[in-house]
Structure 1
Amino acid sequence: MQDSAPGTCRAAGPLPLRHAGRRRWRQGANLGARVLAGLVLVLVAAGLGGCGGGGVPRDGHVGPGAGAAVPASSREEPAGSHASPQGGPPGPPAGPGDGPAGGTEILVAAAASLQEVMEEAAAAFGWVHPGIRVRFHFGSSGALAAQVEAGAPVDLLVAAGRPPVDRLIRAGLAAPGDVRVLAGNRLVLVAPAGPGPAGPGTPVRSWADLAGDQVRRVALGDPAHVPAGQYGRQVLEHLGLWPAVASRLVLDQDVRQVLHHVAAGAADAGIVYATDAATAPGVRVVAEAPPGSHDPIVYPLVIPRSAPQPQAARVFADFLLGPEVRAILDEHGFAPPP
């Protein structure tokens, strides 16, 4: 869907999540072993090889709660987290012994627009709860909900809208009382970046311009399963632009694909979340959706009734709703829950 973000691990092929997680853990263990060997040489040289006391654990694991910790900023991926390739279904459920040092591993299915926030949150969570390892599967919220319906071993779903969660509730796969809201967002119209109000030669400088003859393609998340696309259609209908724009739409799998098409010039404009537009290279915000033109944008989270690790998932969900993650959300431009 997009290039791998910093702090994520991408498998070379369609590798099941469990296998990918173990491979990454083994790499971490090898690093820990090299660190341990270096410490032993230093201690021997100083004549302290026989001293007791706390040190690096015998299994060579260096991380949260295990001797000298490696700062999260120096790691290839966040502490206690692993991101799966996007698009494919999640792998098999993790058991109690599949996590770090025999801990618990949970699978979190999250909207693509939350990727950076989720990875930073998991990094912070890893130091507070080193016994729980978080793995991610990012994608469009509707597709993630469909995977839960198909039996994917998801412990926590974080969607970019109520419809995917309501879908699970109607199917009896989630309890209404378990739904909580993480954050809110805004919807914006973007065009290719460059000199001028919108970009070099870009015919879009307002919502009304979408109906102009110069506009050939408008990128939008597929309203069939992408909440941002559903909100975007509501805006276009509210402004009376849907009849003119419908035949020009390029329907994408998620907001990141919309941004890619706009930045590459494959679309004259696109409709995305403000948080994604703020950090995406190659695009510029042209206009914000008028107040009242679409349903409130919310990011609900819920633990499916089929979750393999519901207790550990609840610990992570509670952490996501805490002040530390609220600060991360603020930094990325996400609004408090409406």
Structure 2
Amino acid sequence: MKIATRRELLRALVAALAIGVVILPFPASAEDKGPVVFAAASLKDALDAVNTEWKKESSKQALISYAASSTLTKQIEQGAPADIFVSADEDWMDYLATRKLIKPETRFDLVGNKLVLIAPKDSKLTATIASGFPLASLLGDAHLAMADTASVPAGKYGKASLEKLGVWDAVKDRIAQAENVRAALALVSRGEAPLGIVYATDAKADPNVKVLDTFPESTHAPILYPIAITASSTNRQAPAFLAYLKTAAAQSVFEAQGFKVLLNY
């Protein structure tokens, strides 16, 4: 009889939680393995690279699940077996904190990011982001790709910026809303949307898009990625993984991927 792998168990549990099914947690032996990390989708390339380096140094490896911060938060609230959570904004981490679902003493801001306007790499469009810039005209009859503006951090930052710049009302009915920022990136990368709003690191990771301009940081809240160990975690490797993320080796990987380094090491 085939024995399910730890990754298969995690996928099954997360899927079951999405439809309200309760499943028993991992066996105790999983505590000796690397931690289960729930991380914002925009961290995928960088965090995967860091995880690879941590495995080389420790022989342990984190099992990382990527999705929108809002989705992951709700899964943790419903009992998903995450040891570590990395959000793309403070709001969703605060949501867990107020419900006592993280260990507050382990929380810190891991990295920062910027917000950019992108187009397919062969696009002839140009744009300078400023108050009242002609975003609606640039779109023509098409749609602007964004992560969900009601709940996903990248979408919330983007909406706030467009409101601050006075152009939201002109485009609000022409938003192609995606489940997370990487899905919004994919719409532009595949040429299904002429413009999109994503993080600078997402644009850097996809050779099929180009950055037209960067949104002024004054138009949205600071883009920070808080991280913490969950209150339910008993994984002995979780603190070690957090400690590794603070090292020069890990921070240099984030920096190479375009993230803003916040920690002194």
Does the 8 Å contact 1:190/1:271 carry over to 2?
A: yes
Higher share of residues assigned helix:
2
Matched with 2:175 is 249
User: Could you list the per-position Cα deviations for residues 142-172 of structure 1 after superposition, in whole angstroms to 9, with x for gaps in the alignment?
Assistant: 1101100000000000111111100101112
The alpha-carbon deviation at position 89 of structure 1 amounts to 6.3
Structure-2 separation of matches of 1:96 and 1:274: 40
Summarize the alignment of residues 69-88 of structure 1 with structure 2, pairs less than 5 Å apart: 88=15
Summarize the alignment of residues 176-255 of structure 1 with structure 2, pairs less than 5 Å apart: 176-194=104-122, 199-200=123-124, 202=125, 205-207=127-129, 208-212=133-137, 214-255=140-181
Structure 2 counterpart of 1:192, one-letter code: P
Q: Determine which structure has greater relative contact order: mean sequence separation of CA pairs < 8 Å that are 6+ residues apart, divided by chain length.
A: 2
Does the 8 Å contact 1:158/1:300 carry over to 2?
A: yes
The alpha-carbon deviation at position 225 of structure 1 amounts to 2.5
The alpha-carbon deviation at position 118 of structure 1 amounts to 1.4
Structure-2 separation of matches of 1:245 and 1:16: 47
Does the 8 Å contact 1:84/1:136 carry over to 2?
A: no
Structure 1 counterpart of 2:95, one-letter code: R
Does the 8 Å contact 1:95/1:104 carry over to 2?
A: no
The alpha-carbon deviation at position 253 of structure 1 amounts to 0.9
The alpha-carbon deviation at position 16 of structure 1 amounts to 7.1
Structure-1 separation of matches of 2:184 and 2:206: 11
Matched with 2:95 is 167
Structure 2 counterpart of 1:305, one-letter code: A
Summarize the alignment of residues 4-15 of structure 1 with structure 2, pairs less than 5 Å apart: none
Matched with 1:40 is none
Matched with 2:260 is 335
Summarize the alignment of residues 1-338 of structure 1 with structure 2, pairs less than 5 Å apart: 18=6, 20=8, 88=15, 93-98=25-30, 103-130=32-59, 132-194=60-122, 199-200=123-124, 202=125, 205-207=127-129, 208-212=133-137, 214-309=140-235, 311-337=236-262
Does the 8 Å contact 1:109/1:137 carry over to 2?
A: yes
Identify if the C-alpha distance between structure 1 residues 222 and 16 changes in structure 2 by more than 3 Å, giving closer, same or farther.
farther
The alpha-carbon deviation at position 226 of structure 1 amounts to 1.2
Structure-2 separation of matches of 1:133 and 1:329: 18
Q: Which has the larger radius of gyration?
A: 1
**Displacement over 3 Å in runs of 4+:** 87-96
The percent of aligned pairs where both chains have the same amino acid is: 31
Structure 2 counterpart of 1:129, one-letter code: S
Structure-1 separation of matches of 2:160 and 2:174: 16
Structure 1 counterpart of 2:198, one-letter code: V
Structure 1 counterpart of 2:184, one-letter code: V
The alpha-carbon deviation at position 308 of structure 1 amounts to 3.8
Structure 2 counterpart of 1:110, one-letter code: A
The alpha-carbon deviation at position 112 of structure 1 amounts to 1.0
Identify if the C-alpha distance between structure 1 residues 335 and 167 changes in structure 2 by more than 3 Å, giving closer, same or farther.
same
Structure 1, unpaired ranges of 5+: 1-14, 22-82
Structure-1 separation of matches of 2:198 and 2:41: 12
Does the 8 Å contact 2:189/2:208 carry over to 1?
A: yes
Matched with 1:55 is none
Identify if the C-alpha distance between structure 1 residues 228 and 168 changes in structure 2 by more than 3 Å, giving closer, same or farther.
same
Structure 2 counterpart of 1:120, one-letter code: A
- Where 2:29 maps in the other structure, the secondary structure is coil
Structure-2 separation of matches of 1:185 and 1:16: 37
Does the 8 Å contact 2:34/2:238 carry over to 1?
A: no
Structure-2 separation of matches of 1:226 and 1:167: 13
Matched with 2:20 is none
Range that drifts further, 137-146 or 223-232? 223-232
Q: Report the RMSD for the aligned CA atoms in angstroms.
A: 2.5
Matched with 1:63 is none
- Where 2:218 maps in the other structure, the secondary structure is coil
Does the 8 Å contact 1:183/1:335 carry over to 2?
A: yes
Structure-1 separation of matches of 2:207 and 2:15: 26
Structure-1 separation of matches of 2:16 and 2:4: 9
Does the 8 Å contact 2:37/2:65 carry over to 1?
A: yes
